[in-house]
Chain A
Amino acid sequence: MARRKSTRGPLDYGKSPWLILFGLVTFILLYAPIAQLIAFSFNDSKRNIVWRGFTTKYYAKAWNDASLVEAFVNSMTIAVMCTVVATIIGTATALWLWRFRFPAKSAVEGVMVLPIVIPEICMGVAVLVLYSRVGNWMRGFETGPIHWWNELFSVWPLNLGAITAAHIAFSFPFVAVVVRARLAGFNREFEEASKDLGASEWQTFWNVVLPFMLPGVIAGALLSFTLSLDDFVITFFTAGPETNTFPVKVYSLVRRGVSPDINAASTVLIIITLVATIIAMRMQAPSKIEG
């Protein structure tokens, strides 16, 4: 019997050396710039081209930059507020679309995912126009409830409310999509079994549906956190002069050129994002028994 050199089957493309090489090069190209960015945040050189030794001084410098820290705190605050509200709205929307049949449902579903698919810039300018209209109208009130409303919303963190509201608008559809994908794997017989065993509607939701969709909810929450933290365009259009966020601040710094303190601040943001994303991805992985 003749011995074949290759043990590769016709469909073992995963063992193709060309494909492996291609994938490897792609991965390297994908990560090299980010790796360099992180590495140079520790580089003891202002010009940042060759390695001149390890330092954390740029982290200290970024930390002592009051406006950078303020922008960072603002971004985190917006992201947290956005996450809480977007998770609630998104989960409710997912439950709604999962559970009910109603007229024009597919049209509604189409509109619901629109914030995900349209170019960010369109949403950015749309929200800018909205806020300028509302702002013009509200400035007309020197006294009365709307005046107080204005006062209230100039106090931190409520002055971030406008940006947060826009962030919620584009991140809750993401939550809804993720939670609904999770719910699609839910065996309706679990719900029926619960009711059959004597549980009320609310008990069934609390004891059976919620535990099942929880990983999806957590994944959705972390995604909306990341989305909010990542957003530049919409914040760029809606942020007022006194409400700086981290990406907008970094943008103004980047326009002036490359500097190690941007690297340091970026590294912190990258780590926060990656941790949130990795947890979210794990949560989305299907569990062993789905029924």
Chain B
Amino acid sequence: MENWKQNKAVFWVTALPGIVWLLLFFLIPLALIWGMSFGEKTSIIDIEITGTLNNYIRSFEAVYVKIIWKSIWISVISTAVCLAIAYPVAFGICFSPARWRPLLLLLVILPFWINLLIRTYALIAVFRTRGTLNFTLEWFWNLAFLDKLIGPFQPLELLYNNGAVIVGMVYVFMPFMVLPLYATIERLDRSYLEASLDLGASQWRTFFSVTVPLTLPGIVSGIILVFIPMLGMFLVPDLLGGTNAIMIGNVITDQFKAANDWPFGAALSFLLMYVTFAALALRAFIGARMKAGVGI
């Protein structure tokens, strides 16, 4: 790698476009809402930055703490389910025949590139009261003559609750979890597993004592990659959650789109940012520990 002083012209030509764009359309906007999160509304359109912490204090009012807490546990459960599904899938792909691997990987992550809104909409068609799932259940119900025995099939209310949000989150983000897991399991030296088996450990013991610790960086990456967007998710709770399942993303949107309390919305957004930074720091910390060979 070249020292930047050796070719300053090329250095600045390649550096400036990205720096300027990031500054104008990312860093300055972020700085603006960060500043605004310490501000107050003085009239309908005017906001004055007074250095107040009221917006942050307000987000710890019971009604918001409840929503934040709910956002966290829904994201935690969804992330856990994602991991539970994605790990075996990534593991299976890694141990499938080499010529199948690229295709299988492509198949898993392909849905991720389809518009989030469209995928969420597709789920509505499956889970709504007159949706595919209820229709299928009714068919089985009638097939088993339960309609004669018990009575007509009562469609299940599958949408507009926390469960629907979790299912939606898992559906939407599971492919994203597979990527980092695949990358680390793929790089895992098989001889470690063979050594463990050779030394007398069972398959499950080998999995939990060797495979999991050695693929931990991928697990951590996957968790962070999926958890952060889930925490700030707006669309899935908005479309699948109904009124009683709102999450922090919906509250933020409300502050900007409906309630018109931008400083409070800014403070909530930055709470999300702080969580993001903490998660990234955690990942860097774990990465450094792994590199140093300390283990966790």
A contacting B, Cβ–Cβ less than 8 Å = yes
Q: Is the CB of A121 within 8 A of B269?
A: yes
Interface residues of B in 1-55 (CB under 8 A from A): 1-4, 7, 10-11, 13-15, 17-18, 21-22, 24-30, 32-33, 36, 45
Q: Is the CB of B2 within 8 A of A114?
A: no
Q: Is the CB of A119 within 8 A of B229?
A: yes
B277 to chain A: closest residue by CB: A118
Cβ of A270 within 8 Å of any chain B Cβ, yes or no, is yes
Interface residues of B in 194-210 (CB under 8 A from A): 194, 197, 203
Q: Is the CB of B130 within 8 A of A100?
A: no
Q: Is the CB of A254 within 8 A of B130?
A: no
Cβ of A70 within 8 Å of any chain B Cβ, yes or no, is no
Cβ of B259 within 8 Å of any chain A Cβ, yes or no, is no
Cβ of A274 within 8 Å of any chain B Cβ, yes or no, is yes
Interface residues of B in 239-278 (CB under 8 A from A): 239, 249, 252-253, 256, 262, 265-266, 269-270, 272-273, 276
Q: Is the CB of B108 within 8 A of A30?
A: yes
Minimum distance in angstroms from A143 CB to a CB of chain B: 24
Interface residue tally on B, bucketed by range: 35 or more
Which of A59-67, A151-159, A224-232 lines the interface with chain B?
Answer: A224-232
Interface residues of B in 121-168 (CB under 8 A from A): 121-126, 128, 130-132, 135
Q: Is the CB of B121 within 8 A of A89?
A: no
Per-position 1/0 for A145-172, Cβ under 8 A of B? 0000000000000000000011011101
Q: Is the CB of A22 within 8 A of B190?
A: no
Cβ of B293 within 8 Å of any chain A Cβ, yes or no, is no
How many angstroms from the CA of A125 to the CA of B224 in the assembled complex? 22
CB-CB < 8 A to B228: which residues of A?
Answer: 117-119
Minimum distance in angstroms from B9 CB to a CB of chain A: 10
Contact of B124 among A130, A237, A254, A276 (CB under 8 A): A254
Q: Is the CB of B125 within 8 A of A48?
A: yes
CB-CB < 8 A to B24: which residues of A?
Answer: 165
Contact of A36 among B122, B128, B175 (CB under 8 A): B122
Cβ of A206 within 8 Å of any chain B Cβ, yes or no, is no
Q: Is the CB of A118 within 8 A of B273?
A: yes
CB-CB < 8 A to A247: which residues of B?
Answer: 115, 117
Does more than half of chain A's interface fall in helix, strand or loop, or is it mixed? helix
Cβ of A52 within 8 Å of any chain B Cβ, yes or no, is no
Q: Is the CB of A129 within 8 A of B29?
A: yes
Cβ of B232 within 8 Å of any chain A Cβ, yes or no, is yes
Q: Is the CB of A273 within 8 A of B252?
A: no
How many angstroms from the CA of A81 to the CA of B88 in the assembled complex? 40
Interface residues of A in 9-34 (CB under 8 A from B): 10-14, 16, 19-20, 22-23, 26-27, 29-34
Q: Is the CB of B128 within 8 A of A92?
A: no
A281 to chain B: closest residue by CB: B106
How many angstroms from the CA of A50 to the CA of B136 in the assembled complex? 10
A122-B269 in contact given A22-B88, A27-B107 (Cβ < 8 Å): yes
Which of B61-69, B94-102, B212-220 lines the interface with chain A?
Answer: B94-102
How many angstroms from the CA of A222 to the CA of B134 in the assembled complex? 38
Contact of B18 among A16, A89, A123 (CB under 8 A): A89
CB-CB < 8 A to B45: which residues of A?
Answer: 136
CB-CB < 8 A to B128: which residues of A?
Answer: 258
Q: Is the CB of B1 within 8 A of A99?
A: yes
Interface residues of A in 253-289 (CB under 8 A from B): 254-255, 258, 262, 266, 269-270, 273-274, 276-278, 281, 285
Contact of A121 among B21, B93, B120, B232 (CB under 8 A): B232
> Could you jot down 20 A-B contacts, CB within 8 Å?
A11-B193, A23-B93, A26-B174, A33-B119, A40-B125, A99-B2, A111-B27, A114-B26, A117-B228, A120-B234, A121-B253, A125-B265, A126-B269, A230-B113, A247-B115, A266-B115, A266-B122, A269-B118, A270-B114, A281-B106
Interface residues of B (CB under 8 A from A): 1-4, 7, 10-11, 13-15, 17-18, 21-22, 24-30, 32-33, 36, 45, 85, 88-89, 91-93, 95-97, 102, 104, 106-108, 110-111, 113-126, 128, 130-132, 135, 171, 174-175, 190, 193-194, 197, 203, 224-225, 228-229, 231-235, 239, 249, 252-253, 256, 262, 265-266, 269-270, 272-273, 276, 280
Interface residues of A (CB under 8 A from B): 10-14, 16, 19-20, 22-23, 26-27, 29-34, 36-37, 40, 47-50, 88-90, 92-93, 95-96, 98-102, 110-112, 114-115, 117-123, 125-130, 133, 136, 165-166, 168-170, 172-173, 176, 201, 226, 229-230, 232-233, 237, 247, 250-251, 254-255, 258, 262, 266, 269-270, 273-274, 276-278, 281, 285
